[in-house]
Amino acid sequence: MQASITRLTERPTLWPWLLLTPLALYLAIFFVVPLVDVVVMSFTEPKPTLSNYTHVLTGALYQRVFINTFATALLVTVVCLVVGYPLAYLMTRVSPRSAMLILTLVTMSFWTSFLVRTYAWMVLLGDSGPIIALVRALGVQDPPHLLFTRFSSTLAMVHILAPYMIMNIYSVMRKIDPVLIRSAQSLGAKSGSLFRHVYLPLTAPGIANGSVLVFVICLGFYVTPVLLGSPREQMIAGLIGHQIDEFLAFGLGSAMAVVLLLITLTILTIYHRRFGLDKLWG
Amino acid sequence: MNRLLLSIGVFAVIFIAAPLVIVVPMSFSNARSLQFPPPGYWLGYYQAYFTDMRWLRPTWNSIIIASGTTVLTMTLVVPATFALVRHRFAGKSFADLMLLMPLAVPHIVMAVGYYSFLGKLGIVQTHLGVIVAHTCLTVPIAFLVLSANLKGFDRTLERAAISLGASPWRTFIHITLPILKPGLIVSALFTFVQSFDETVVAIFISGRDAATLPRKMFDSIRQEADPVIAVVSTLLFLLVLAGIVAPPLWKALRTRMKAPALSSGDFQS
């Protein structure tokens, strides 16, 4: 009997390999091969040269799109932090019941489809929407168009990605021992220095997690910038889609996809070395 | 500092809530374009959604594709999770990392790859093609949820069954599976929702015959902002609301607690 117990737990067998093989094969064929395909196309379409990369890395249009994408991702991350940090803090300060309500709201936003939230912002920011009406009521004669601008796509992306930031920061904040705060206060720390020297460093892991996640998702964001953004200020993903859909320029599209992939993987690798990738989504 | 943080926090709550709330009145609006507040109310666009094949077919396609993806993903992920959580072997940490890789690759990159790859296989613009692609994209979520459950599994229960004379197979069926059932259900549910909501890959590979609901919504927002989108959005929003509010309510009713509590398994991060 003892033998069968150890058999269940310790026996070094082929079992793990048998269990793992179907998934490993599946991912090798249906995940790795298509990715390799992208890399191959970036060098061979329409003919085998490096010209796709010289275009993508030196062309004025592409450089502008890359810079615009980075700037947008950075802005979205910072605004998510500015919105998300105080909200997470609010959750730690109100009654458990109110905190639960806010958490339910954030969870609901998180689970609601990107498209639904993008559509909602189209209504909110539209020319006959409530925000323009409010601006008119305040006496502005000729309110600016908000829709299809950098402003509208940035705002919607902040709304869509904020739950990632909030959940990451809140999960760190709720574990902070209140004794640490009280002892800092009793040692004479003023509100500002308490925040800077005690609270902020304690919440830094949540900020790092949330920011990396928001930044990386934003770099590859397709739907919202395409639907709400200005056509003159495309982001990388939108331009890739454009190349494939409109021009059937698979080589150029693939080369941009490879560059986007390398940037994303570099950021995640640095993160993985320092913190471990499984923490990011866990 | 404190007061500043708290007041921004309150503002942030409104910012998160407003877009979620606004689609509900919009779905009852009788305006042809995006107008808020609506000039009048009717149920015409609900009727339009439930009678128009241009909306019903993509809805049905999405249900088929998400179901197929869930079955395929769970079939592959459940055994693999057992291997990775319960056994130690060379290359295990590499395998762990590889299973998470589909999360790290932007969907637009995969869309380019699938467009060409599935074309070569002759299954681009079919249900099967989208299921094959979505399965790769949902593997990490299913794996993360399931492995978290399996790591918390108390193995003395299995050892007890074995020491009482049960065969390993019988132990698995009567002890392991029932205990793991909630984890399996949550994992399958996350997979289903992720496939149902997936937009980018579906836009590029689902074509006309297998067009999913998100693809149809994307196209109509882009082209004419069809008011039926508000109806679809409201229905999707209500599904999410039901999915999030129902379990704790049910739990509260069952245990007759006064304050329902969301379990940490209800959200991802």
Instruction: List Cα–Cα distances, B149 to B20, B78, B81, B184, in angstroms.
Output: 31, 11, 10, 9
pLDDT tens sequence across A263-274: 999 999 998 887
- Contact state of B106 with A219 under an 8 Å Cβ cutoff: yes
Q: For chain A, how many structural domains are there in total?
A: 2
Flag whether pLDDT at A262 surpasses 90. Answer: yes
Flag whether pLDDT at A9 surpasses 70. Answer: no
* Same domain flag for A171 and A232: yes
Flag whether pLDDT at A276 surpasses 80. Answer: no
Q: What is the mean pLDDT of residues A77-103?
A: 94
Query: By CB neighbour count within 10 A (0-12 exposed, 13-18 middle, 19+ buried), where does B254 fall?
Result: exposed
Of B89, B107, B203, the CB nearest to A16: B89
Q: What is the mean pLDDT of residues B175-187?
A: 93
Q: How far is CA B10 from the centre of its chain?
A: 29
CATH superfamily of B55-226: MetI-like (1.10.3720.10)
* Same domain flag for A273 and A169: yes
Q: What is the mean pLDDT of residues A1-21?
A: 66
Q: Which of A139, A154, A164, A124 is nearest to A230 (CA)?
A: A154
Look at residue B266 in the predicted model and tell me its pLDDT: 39
Q: How far apart are CA B265 and CA B246, in angstroms?
A: 14
From chain A residues 220-279, the ones with a CB under 8 A of any chain B CB are: 220, 222-223, 226-227, 236-237, 240-241, 244-245, 250, 253-254, 257-258, 260-261, 264-265, 268, 272, 277-278
Between CA A91 and CA A90, with CA A112 as vertex, the angle to 5 degrees is 10
* Same domain flag for A67 and A207: yes
Look at residue A34 in the predicted model and tell me its pLDDT: 97
Show the domain range for A26.
Answer: 1-44
Residue A55 lies in a domain: no
Nearest CA in chain B to A121: B19
List of chain A residues whose C-beta atoms are within 8 Å of the C-beta of residue B79: 19-20, 22-23
- Can you read off the two tokens belonging to residue B6? 């708290």
Cβ(B17)–Cβ(A91) under 8 Å? no
Residue A51 lies in a domain: no
Look at residue B256 in the predicted model and tell me its pLDDT: 65
* pTM, to two decimals: 0.90
Flag whether pLDDT at B228 surpasses 70. Answer: yes
No. of helices (H) and no. of strands (E), chain B:
12, 0
- Contact state of B269 with A281 under an 8 Å Cβ cutoff: yes
Band of the pLDDT at A128, cuts 50, 70, 90? confident
Q: What is the mean pLDDT of residues A152-171?
A: 96
Look at residue B31 in the predicted model and tell me its pLDDT: 83
pLDDT tens sequence across B99-124: 999 999 999 999 999 999 999 999 99
Q: Break chain B into its structural domains and give their ranges.
A: 55-226
Band of the pLDDT at A245, cuts 50, 70, 90? confident
SS3 B214: helix
- Contact state of B135 with A30 under an 8 Å Cβ cutoff: yes
Percentage of chain A surpassing pLDDT 90? Answer: 67
E strand or H helix at A100: helix A96-111
Residue A259 lies in a domain: yes
